[in-house]
Structure 1
C-alpha cells in the first residue's frame, strides 16, 4: 500500500482512500480542548442567559459581551502575536468556532467581527494599517464590519456600483454608493468597503466610523438572528485617505474572495456546533415529554430523528477537522519570514476552497434539517417562542444564504475542479482513462480494503468513478457550455460533497480503530455506515437524472449500462443501527462521539 499523505484540494476524488492522511477531532491536543471549553463556558454562562435581551436589540449588552470575549482571547485567534493576537492554527480556530455556534445572534456579530471584519487586515493590511487598527480589533476595543453587498450586487459581487474617485489634491478617494445587509453596521468602528475606482478598478478601503458622509439606514427587521445589527451603509462623498486603500488598487477581488473561502469553512463549522446543540435540546425534551403515558424518546420515529441528526453530525465533524488538518499542513510548509507569507497563507486556504464549500453547504442544510426536526419533536410547543426550538429554527435559515448561497456553491464546486484540471493541478482526465479501463475490465475495479469498514472503502471508491464518469460525459456533451448547465453542475456537486464527507467519516473511524483498537470504536462504525448508506442511496438517482437529461434511446441505454457496474447494492440494517445510535444519544442527552 502506498504511503499516506495529506492530499491537495479536490484530489480526494481521484486518489485511493487508503493513501489519504487525515486529521481527526480525537487528535486535538489538550490546550485546544481547554480553549474550546473556555469558549463554551462563555457562551453558556454569559450569552445564552441574555439571548432574549440580545434579540431585543440591546446592542450595549452585545458590545459588552464582544469585548468580554476579547478579554478571553476569543477575538484574536487568527491575529498575529505582533498585533496583540494569538496567531493560532486553523484547528484551534475551528474548534472554538464550533463551540460558539450554540447561539446565533451573538455568533453572527462575533463571526462578522473576527472573520470578514478582521481578516482582510490580517492578510492584506500594510504595517502602518495593522499598527493603527489590528490591535484594536484583536482586543475588542474596536468592532469591524465588511461592506461588499449592494442592492443590485449580492451573489454577483463584482457588479458593485459604489464608486471611488481620487480627489484633485491626490490625498483622498471620494466614495459614493449604498451597501446593503451589512452585519455590525449599527455599532462597528471600522468598515472594509469595496468600491470601483473610476467605476472600473475593484478596490477595498478602510473607512472609520464617524467619517463625514457615512450614514446608515434603519435596522432590518429580520426573520432570524434578530439580535445582530443589519443595516444599509450609505456613502455620500465620503473622503477616505489614500493610505486607507487596503491591498492593491484593482485587486479587491483577491480580498473579497480570499476571505470568503475562510468564511464558508467557518460557517459550516458553527453549523456543526448548532446541530449538536439542537440534538441535545431535542433529545432532552423527548425524554421529558410524555404522550400516551410513554416518553417521546421511546417512540421509534422520534428515535429515527435523533439518530439522523447524530450520524450526520459525525460525518460533518469528520469532514470539518479533516479540512482543518489539510489547511494547517499546507500553512506549516510556509516560511514565516517570507515577505509574501500572508498571501501564501491565503493561497493555502484557497487550495481547499472546494472542501470549504462542501462543509458550508452540508453544514447549513443539515442544520436546517436538525432544527426542523427539533420543532417537530416539540410538537405545538416547538412553535412557541417560549421554547428554544422556535428561535433555532428561525436563526438557522440564513446560513444557506450567507457566504455565497448554496446554489452558488454548488456551481462553484465543479467549476473549481474543472479549473484545477485545466491548470494540470489535478489529473482528472487521466482518471477518466482508469474509468474506461475498469468498465471494460470490471475485475480491475477497487476491491474491499483490509480492516474495519473495508467494504465501505470500496463503495466510496466506486462512487468516485460515477462522479468522474458523469463529469467526463458532461464535458463531451456540452463542452464549454456546461458552465450554463446548472442542474448538471449541481448533480456533480452533490456527488462530490457526499464522497468527501463519507470518505472523511470512514477514514476517521478507521484511524480511531488503528489508534485505540477495534473494541474501542463503539458506535462510530454504525454512524459511518448510516451516512455511507444515505449517500449511496442517492447515487443511482443522481446518475439517472444526469444521463436521462443528456441522452435518450440506445445511447441512454449504453451509458446507463456503462455506469451501472460502479453502483452495486449496499445494504445495512438501517433501522437497527439507528436505534442503537438513538439509544446512545438518549442515554447521554447529547452528541455522543
Structure 2
C-alpha cells in the first residue's frame, strides 16, 4: 500500500513506520535534559519534603508550590511565547510530566493547570481572551480548573445538563448547573466550564472564582490523590460576560481536544512514577536478606524487577513516539492567527486513537507495577511508612480519569472505523489485503535476530487486528453492540502499537549510540513477550466470540502471527534474570 504523505492518526496499523520517523527519548538535547533536571530537582527539593502536609490536604501549600513551579517555568511549557509562556515541544512537556510524577497529587494539580486548564482556551479562545488569562496560568498567579463532569454524565459528556442561556440584553450568559469531581476546585481562580446552549450545542465559558452565584461543595473523601482539592462546583444563575465565552457551539470539541492531550500527559507522568518505584524496589532487593541472601538473588523477585523495567521501557517508547507525532501535528500553528482554532482542533484530534490506546495501557501498567512493588516489599509495602501504599491509591484514578478505560477501548475502534468511513484512512483496503505477504506492515528488521522476532510479532498483531475488524464489520448485528469483541480488538491494536514502538525504538537507538545494546534489547524482548501474549489472548477471545462466522484462513493467520513470540521463541526466564541483573547493577531503570 502507498504510504501516506504525512503522518495520520491510526495509520500505524495499516502501514510500516520507519525508525527515522519516530522520536525516542535518547534524542533529547542537553537543553531538554536540563529542563527535565529542573523539574526533577523541584520535585525532590521542594515538593517531596512536604508530602505529609500535601496528603493532609494543605491546599494553601500546594498553591504556594504551584507559584514556585511557575517561577521556574514549569507551568509555561504549553503556553506560546506570545501569551507569556515558553512554547516548549510536546516531547519536553512530556519529560516535565515524567519528572514531577512521584508526588501524584501535585502532579495531577499540575496536569489540570497546564493541560485541562490552559489548552481549551489556547486552542479555541480568541486573542483577547488568551492574552488576558494565559499569562496568569503560565506564571501560577492564577490556578485553573476544568469543569466538565456531572453526576449523571461522567463519561457521557454530551449528556450534561448544565445550561448557559443568553441574557435578555445579550451582554451575558446565565449559567446554571452543577459540576462534579472538579480537581483544583478549592484553589482555582478560573474555571473552564462546559455547558449546553442548545439541544446539541455546547459552549465553553471562563468563569472566575469570585463570580456571584458560584459556590463549592465539601472536599470529596477520596481513595487516593489526597493532596488534590476535589469538590463540586455549583452555578446558580451565574452571569458570565459574553467576552468570556468561547468555542460557541463547539464546546464539546474543546473538551475532547483537551482530554486527548491529558491522556497522553498522564501516561508520560506514569513513566516517571514507575521509574521511581523501580529504583526503590531495586534498592530494597539488594539490601533485604532472607535465609542469608539478598532477595534480589531469588528468581521470582528478579521476575518482578525485570517485568517492571520492561513495561516501563515499552510505555516510555510509546509515550515519546506519540509525543513526536503530536509535535509534528501541531507544528506551524501561529497561536494568535485567525485560523489557529481550526488548526489546533485538527492537530489535537489527529492522534486521538493513539492517545486513548496509550492511556489504557499506561494506566493499567501503573496499576500492575504499583501492586507488584507492594508485594516485593512484603509487610513493609503494606504500611504507610513507605510510599507504595500512596502510589497504589493514587494511580487507581488513572483508569477512571480522562475517560474510563472501558470507554476508551471502544473509542480506539470507533475512531479507527470513523477514519476509514470518511476516507481519511484506507481501512477497508487494508482489511481486504491483511493476509497478503506482499504488503509489509512493519519496517525491515535488517537481519537482527532478536529485533526480527519482535518485528514479526508486530506485523502479526497488526494483521490480526485488521482481520478481526473485517469480520466484525460483516456481522449482521451492529458491530458497536458487540462491546466485548470491540474491546478485545482494541487490546490487539494497542499491543500492535506497543510491539512496533519497541522495535522502532531499538532500531533508532542502535544508530544513535555506541553504548552497549544489551539493556535495550533485553528490555524490548521481555516487553515484547508480554505484549505478544496480550495480543494473542485478546485476539483468540475475539475469534471465539465472533463464532463460526470467522473463516479458517483468519485463524491460521492469527496462529502464524503470534508464534513468533510464543514462549518457545526465547527463554523468558533467562531473559528476565539477565534484565534483573542489569536493573540491580543500575540501581533502578537501566540507562539504555
TM-score range, shorter chain: over 0.9
DSSP-derived class of the 1:473 partner: helix
Where does residue 560 of structure 1 map in the other structure? 555
CA distance in 1, matches of 2:188, 2:121: 15
Which of 536, 542, 562 lines up with 1:540 in the alignment? Answer: 536
**For the structure 1 residues 234 and 300, does the alpha-carbon distance in structure 2 shift closer, same or farther, using more than 3 Å as the test?**
same
Where does residue 306 of structure 1 map in the other structure? 305
Decide whether the 8 Å contact of 1:448 with 1:456 is kept in 2: no
DSSP-derived class of the 1:511 partner: helix
Where does residue 399 of structure 2 map in the other structure? 400
CA distance in 2, matches of 1:371, 1:94: 21
Where does residue 111 of structure 1 map in the other structure? 111
Cα deviation, residue 568, structure 1: 2.8
**For the structure 1 residues 18 and 64, does the alpha-carbon distance in structure 2 shift closer, same or farther, using more than 3 Å as the test?**
closer
Cα deviation, residue 356, structure 1: 1.0
CA distance in 2, matches of 1:72, 1:369: 34
CA displacement, residues 321-345 of structure 1 (integer Å, 9 cap, x when unaligned):
1111111122225466753134313
CA distance in 2, matches of 1:513, 1:19: 11
CA displacement, residues 348-374 of structure 1 (integer Å, 9 cap, x when unaligned):
232111111121111111111111011
CA displacement, residues 557-580 of structure 1 (integer Å, 9 cap, x when unaligned):
565345434333431111111111
CA distance in 1, matches of 2:442, 2:362: 30
Which one is further off, 14-23 or 32-41? 14-23
Decide whether the 8 Å contact of 2:77 with 2:87 is kept in 1: yes
CA displacement, residues 250-287 of structure 1 (integer Å, 9 cap, x when unaligned):
21111111111101110111111111111112222222
CA distance in 1, matches of 2:191, 2:85: 20
CA distance in 2, matches of 1:4, 1:255: 27
Which of 473, 486, 489 lines up with 1:489 in the alignment? Answer: 486
Calculate the TM-score normalised by the size of structure 1.
0.94
Pairwise mapping of residues 16-415 of structure 1 onto structure 2 (< 5 A)?
A: 16-18=16-18, 21-197=21-197, 201-247=201-247, 249-334=248-333, 338-415=337-414
Aligned residues: 586
CA distance in 2, matches of 1:28, 1:158: 40
CA distance in 2, matches of 1:183, 1:565: 47
Decide whether the 8 Å contact of 2:178 with 2:234 is kept in 1: yes
Decide whether the 8 Å contact of 1:123 with 1:342 is kept in 2: yes
Which of 501, 504, 511 lines up with 1:504 in the alignment? Answer: 501
**For the structure 1 residues 261 and 286, does the alpha-carbon distance in structure 2 shift closer, same or farther, using more than 3 Å as the test?**
same
CA displacement, residues 93-134 of structure 1 (integer Å, 9 cap, x when unaligned):
111111111111111111111111111221122122122211
Where does residue 582 of structure 2 map in the other structure? 584
Cα deviation, residue 306, structure 1: 0.7
CA displacement, residues 413-463 of structure 1 (integer Å, 9 cap, x when unaligned):
01111011111111121122322445xx9x999897323312321231122
DSSP-derived class of the 1:435 partner: coil
Cα deviation, residue 82, structure 1: 1.7
Where does residue 475 of structure 1 map in the other structure? 473
Cα deviation, residue 541, structure 1: 2.7
Which one is further off, 168-177 or 141-150? 168-177
**For the structure 1 residues 298 and 538, does the alpha-carbon distance in structure 2 shift closer, same or farther, using more than 3 Å as the test?**
same
Cα deviation, residue 289, structure 1: 1.8
DSSP-derived class of the 1:394 partner: helix
DSSP-derived class of the 2:377 partner: helix
The two structures, once aligned, show a CA RMSD in angstroms of 2.3
Decide whether the 8 Å contact of 2:495 with 2:534 is kept in 1: no
CA distance in 1, matches of 2:413, 2:528: 21
DSSP-derived class of the 2:88 partner: coil
Cα deviation, residue 79, structure 1: 0.6
CA displacement, residues 372-406 of structure 1 (integer Å, 9 cap, x when unaligned):
01111111111111111111111110000010011
CA distance in 2, matches of 1:470, 1:117: 39
Which of 503, 527, 530 lines up with 1:531 in the alignment? Answer: 527
DSSP-derived class of the 1:181 partner: strand
Cα deviation, residue 177, structure 1: 0.9
CA distance in 2, matches of 1:261, 1:581: 34
Task: Report runs of 4+ in structure 1 exceeding 4 Å deviation.
Answer: 1-6, 17-20, 333-338, 443-448, 554-559
CA distance in 1, matches of 2:140, 2:442: 53
**For the structure 1 residues 220 and 430, does the alpha-carbon distance in structure 2 shift closer, same or farther, using more than 3 Å as the test?**
same
DSSP-derived class of the 2:23 partner: coil
Cα deviation, residue 542, structure 1: 2.3
Calculate the TM-score normalised by the size of structure 2.
0.94
Decide whether the 8 Å contact of 1:6 with 1:20 is kept in 2: no
CA distance in 2, matches of 1:3, 1:526: 31
Which one is further off, 192-201 or 180-189? 192-201
CA distance in 2, matches of 1:308, 1:317: 14
DSSP-derived class of the 1:523 partner: helix
**For the structure 1 residues 529 and 555, does the alpha-carbon distance in structure 2 shift closer, same or farther, using more than 3 Å as the test?**
closer
1:550 equivalenced with 2:546 (yes/no): yes
In the alignment, structure 1 segments of 5+ residues that lack a partner are none
In the alignment, structure 2 segments of 5+ residues that lack a partner are none
CA displacement, residues 508-530 of structure 1 (integer Å, 9 cap, x when unaligned):
1111112335x732221111111
Where does residue 574 of structure 1 map in the other structure? 572
1:450 equivalenced with 2:446 (yes/no): yes
